[in-house]
Amino acid sequence: MALWSERRPSDDFHRVLAPDGSLVGDPPELGDDELKRLYRSFLQTRRLEEKLLRMQRRGEISIIARSLGEEAVALGSAAALAAGDWCFPTYRQTAARAYWGSPVDRSVASLMGAETETVNEHLPPDEEGEGVVFTPPYVPLTVNVTNAVGSAMADRFRGTDTVSLAYVGEGSTSEGDFHEALNFAGVYDAPVVTVCQNNQWAISVPAHRQTAAETFAQKADAHGVPHERVDGNDVLAMYEATKEAVKNARDGGGPAFIEAVTYRRVEHNTADEPGVYRDEEEAEYWAERDPLDRFDAYLRREGVIDDDWVEAVGADVDAEVQAGVERAREVPESDPERMFDNHLHGEPSWTARHQRAELRAEQRGENPFTDFDGSGL
């Protein structure tokens, strides 16, 4: 028996494509090449995450977080950025990286545990230098907003017209950092767009159990930040809403907040078992609203793609993913001490020194957890 009941969110949001792929609004002005690029990024994300899951099951990767059924949030919003803009992703924005050509080999090598310095020594550099600038994905998601607001203000002081895009989950909107950052952005008109990926679950807590707000979008009201609720399974709606928000921010109009309504059909990450706290009926409902199926139906109806094109692109994506994984497997393991290489402030802190001592004790085959204050090491 499931631990939690679920409440389906209302669908009074911005939408361009109905779940069956038919148009219910005016589509954005995108050419065939751009639409095909979006489709290819969809495919690459799915094929890569399927591969990563198999690698995790074999023990090559310790943990991954998939975005199955949520890809349109990252894909549509990231596609609205321009070269030179900043993107602050979480672990569920694989599609954003795919769209902007992030190398598969470097991403996989990092997931396999290689430190950045080791990756740089053994894999070709990321030559997409003229694209969007991605920060590393942060596990404490809420700091994405504070960091993105800081980034946006720095760019504004430098006199550039770049925009920062931050992603958070709906659970992050219950934390203090989120409100402090949004308040700052509202007061100082920071050129930043925040996308809340509302997938209905903050790990194992359903949305209705972690906030009493009617919507997550309305939380931006308290900070004077314009907001919009969007169908997160509609890649064209996500693109359209983010494009307008990014343009407004770039033109000096200040921040925006977008609630992207979607659903987490799979586990939070591979350390999670959702079967102990929810049933599968709701996941099946959302599977029928799959964002790739919806986009596929639309493009076929418009004559943009057909079976031959999809088959050819699928084969191309599979080859790219496999080649990237093979190169990543050639990267040697990093020296564990490298995790201490980079410090923001002068001499290593007591905590850093203690963690290093714990690591060395473990490498000697000793129990590193013999005390709390480090006096026993």
- Are residues 140 and 278 located together in one domain of the fold? yes
Q: What is the mean pLDDT of the chain?
A: 94
**Mean pLDDT of all residues in 243-261:** 98
Domain for residue 24, yes or no? no
pLDDT tops 90 at residue 15 = yes
| 341 and 193 housed in the same domain | no
CATH value at residue 133: 3.40.50.970
> Is 20 inside a domain boundary?
no
In which domain, by residue range, is 113 found? 32-330
pTM of the model: 0.93
- Look at 37 and 339; give whichever has higher pLDDT: 37
The average pLDDT across 298-310 equals 98
Query: Do residues 325 and 347 both lie within one domain?
Result: no
User: In the predicted model, is pLDDT for residue 374 greater than 70?
Assistant: no
Assigned domain for 225 exists: yes
Residue reference for tokens 């989120």: 178
Q: What is the pLDDT of residues 88-120, one digit of tens each?
A: 999 999 999 999 999 999 999 999 999 988 999
Q: To which residue do tokens 């078992």 refer? A: 273
Residues 235 and 358 both lie in one domain: no
End-to-end CA, the chain: 47
Please choose, from the candidates 25, 30, 5, the residue with its C-alpha nearest in 3D space to the C-alpha of residue 15. Answer: 25
Q: What is the pLDDT of residue 279?
A: 85
pLDDT tens digits for range 187-197: 999 999 999 99
Q: Is residue 135 part of a domain?
A: yes
Pair (324, 344) in one structural domain:
no
Do 295 and 219 share a structural domain? yes
pLDDT at residue 8, as a whole number: 92
Structure confidence by residue, pLDDT tens digits, 319-336: 999 999 999 999 999 998
Q: Are residues 116 and 257 in the same domain?
A: yes
Single-letter residue type at 218? Q
- Co-location of 285 and 366 in the same domain: no
User: Are 316 and 371 within one domain?
Assistant: no
DSSP-derived 3-state class of residue 327 = helix
* Residue 168 predicted with pLDDT over 70: yes
Note the pLDDT of residue 288. 95
Give a yes or no: residue 223 inside a domain: yes
In a domain, 22, yes or no: no
Q: Tell me what pLDDT residue 130 has.
A: 67
Q: Quick one: the chain helix, strand, coil %, rounded to 5?
A: 45, 10, 45
What is the count of structural domains for the chain?
2
Contacts of 127 (CB under 8 A, 6+ apart): none
Residues 267 and 362 occupy one common structural domain:
no
User: Within the chain, where are the H helices?
Assistant: 32-57, 71-78, 94-99, 104-111, 116-122, 143-158, 176-188, 207-210, 235-250, 281-287, 291-301, 307-329, 350-363
Q: Residue 186's CB: how many other CB atoms inside 10 A?
A: 19
Instruction: Give the pLDDT score at 140.
Output: 87
Same domain, 298 and 346: no
Is residue 261 in a domain?
yes
Residues 78 and 154 in one domain: yes
Catalytic residue ranges: 264, 268, 277
Write the pLDDT tens digit of every residue in 114-156. Answer: 998 899 999 988 765 569 999 988 888 899 999 999 999 999 9
Mean pLDDT of 205-218: 94
